[in-house]
Amino acid sequence: MRSAVIVTIVLLASCTAPAPTPPDTQPAAGTVEAFEPASGDAQAMLIAARTAAPQRANDYRLSAAETLLRNDSAVGSILDDVDTDRAAPAQLRRYLVLRARDALRADDAPLALRWLGDGRLQQIPLDRKAQIKLGMMKSDTYAAMRSYLASARERIYVHSLLAATDRAGNGEAIFNTLRELSAGVLRRQAEREITPEVRGWLSLAELAQRHADDPQRTLLEFDNWRIAWSNHPAAQRPPRYLVMLRDVVTRQPRRVALLLPLHGSLAPYGRAIRDGIVGAHYHATAGQQTPPELAVYDTSAADLASVLNEARSDGAELIIGPLDRGRVAETLRIAGPELPVIALNRASADARPATSTRPVYQFGLAPDDEIMQVVRQTRREGHRRVLAIAPDSEWGRRNLDLFAAEWTAQGGDVIDQLVFTPDGDVSRLVKSLLDVDESEARASDLRRITGLTFEHTPRRRQDVDYVFILASPAQAGALKPTLDFYFAEDLPVYATSHVHEPNAGRMAMLDVDRIRFCDMPWKLTPGDSAQKLITAAWPEADGPLAPFFALGVDAYRLYARLRQLESIPGERVHGRTGTLRLTQERIVQRELMWAQFREGQVMPQPMVVAAE
């Protein structure tokens, strides 16, 4: 009996709940305490995602990717871990948009567009805010591909969804995007467009482009457009570019003074600029009852202050010139505060005042803009290591130093430089630059050491991504075949506009085959009506002096657009010397077109104008 009681007690004891774990006892090994990572802490969110449930893990990874993208960090590997099969619709939308943003961060707009066009995204219902965000992303992506018509369409489609306070900015963006296209393209698109709102935007941009060099005609056409399209969003809230036209027209100068060198070494350039201005003036004012007067002052030997005072006394309301770089610096010091000056060169950086109230605008054909464009383009293409070649001259060394400084500032490496003289042995210099002579020397040493006779094909250095040259057409014609001969035919070669002479013979262009360069529209595209008038009157406008005729045309047209350039952020003027922008220091910067020599022809880089 006693033994039975003992057994019963033991059994009851074994069924009793265990005593609670003391507070200071550690959790069993292998368990993880749940925690909520701090907002904005990407690493903490990624750690939390490892042990979270699938949908919660997706949220953590997507939030981490959003945080890192704000810091311009790559997030592809994080998005690879998102479980899209178990993702909720909102998560899938975030995932696809983040994929597109990551592609844009890597400058891969076509890939971004594929993510934004993913069929799964089209099946997800979107609220108004999400529709706007997606439309704006598509617009930005198309713009990055220079598919400007498609970019504008996306903004037009979401325009009615925007809050009233946001529509003005969107309208500005639509108009400015369409102005990237030519008047001819805009007209053809408007004729075939069936959506009224889109057609209205196209016709508005077309009239602005068609009369870009005639503010008075643009204003007249715009007033007629507003009557025909009175219910259009742009009629109710016009772009600032068009609103400012009335002020532009009323401020046109009645007398323009041209300060140019007509004798001496700069005379050919001064006369070309003068003739370009005269041609643009005649073209723009034909039919006007009271066109502005032009007065020419020779600055070849005259004291600049005296010439400025004479022009002012004669009633000039605008001065175009001087041309010489040193005289531009002098103008910055002595010009008065009331008379605007469009100088035709750019003073050196150390000659520019830190601040100035004088309305002196520095506009010219400075190679600085071209060099910066080469740097941006080659970095965008992923190049990092460069060989740079320039002539042994003040111009060559100054611009070679500028290129090296800008390239290094952008994170690139200048592996080596070559400075050549007109009478130097270019073949020997290029051979040394490419280390081909070292390759031959190594083979010679090996033959001497081993006593063997063997065939050897020299090799060039392999630590280079591309070659940049500053050269005239003749110099480039000697350099490019030499680079090819010494095994660098596979290296991309970039240059400034100085390698391109209009109407050069086919044989000369074969020598520079595959060189890629930037140049002005005057030399690369069919001329507008003013250019055709000028080249008919002055055949030399199609030769080596062509850039200076184009400079004269743009200088004459620029004044009418200065107030818009100063007042409207990001405003640009499509000129014959390039696309023009104005900095806060009143320096007019040019962006040129890209082209390439191919089989004896100049091939402009095509521009995408519509979605595929």
468 is written with which tokens?
Answer: 């940049």
Residue 352's pLDDT band (boundaries 50, 70, 90)?
confident
pLDDT tens-digit map of 68-115: 999 999 999 999 999 999 999 999 999 999 999 999 998 899 999 999
- The C-alpha atoms of residue 266 and residue 364 are separated, in whole angstroms, by 14
pLDDT tens-digit map of 375-387: 999 998 889 999 9
Query: What is the reported pLDDT for 335?
Result: 84
Q: Is 463 helix (H, G, I), strand (E, B) or coil?
A: coil
Residue 31 has pLDDT above 70, yes or no: no
Query: What is the reported pLDDT for 472?
Result: 93
Contact 398, 349 (CB under 8 A): no
Q: Determine how many CB atoms are found less than 10 A away from the CB of residue 424.
A: 13
Q: Does this chain's domain 42-247 share its CATH topology with 251-365+527-591? A: no
Mean pLDDT of the region 249-268:
93
Contact 292, 256 (CB under 8 A): yes
Residue 451, judged by CB atoms within 10 A of its CB (0-12, 13-18, 19+), counts as exposed
- The C-alpha atoms of residue 277 and residue 541 are separated, in whole angstroms, by 12
Strand 515-519 to strand 493-495: parallel, antiparallel, or no bridges (unpaired)?
Answer: parallel
Lowest mean pLDDT among 58-67, 257-266, 270-279, 332-341: 332-341
Query: What is the reported pLDDT for 353?
Result: 72
Lowest mean pLDDT among 26-35, 41-50, 89-98, 523-532: 26-35
Mean pLDDT of the region 574-584:
93
Name the fold adopted by 251-365+527-591: Rossmann fold (3.40.50)
Residue 161 has pLDDT above 90, yes or no: yes
> Taking CA 607 as the corner, what is the angle to CA 601 and CA 609, rounded to the nearest 5 degrees?
145
For 368-424+460-524+593-604, which CATH superfamily applies? Response regulator (3.40.50.2300)
Query: What is the reported pLDDT for 256?
Result: 96
pTM comes to 0.80
Residue 451's pLDDT band (boundaries 50, 70, 90)?
low
- 164-178 vs 196-210: helix crossing angle, rounded to 10: 50
Strand 493-495 to strand 413-420: parallel, antiparallel, or no bridges (unpaired)?
Answer: unpaired
Q: Is 143 helix (H, G, I), strand (E, B) or coil?
A: helix
Contact 159, 136 (CB under 8 A): no
Mean pLDDT of the region 243-249:
86
Q: Where are the domains of the chain?
A: 42-247, 251-365+527-591, 368-424+460-524+593-604
Q: With pLDDT > 90 as the criterion, what percentage of the chain qualifies?
A: 66
Q: Which residues contact 315 (CB under 8 A, 6 or more apart)?
A: 254, 255
Name the fold adopted by 42-247: 1.25.40
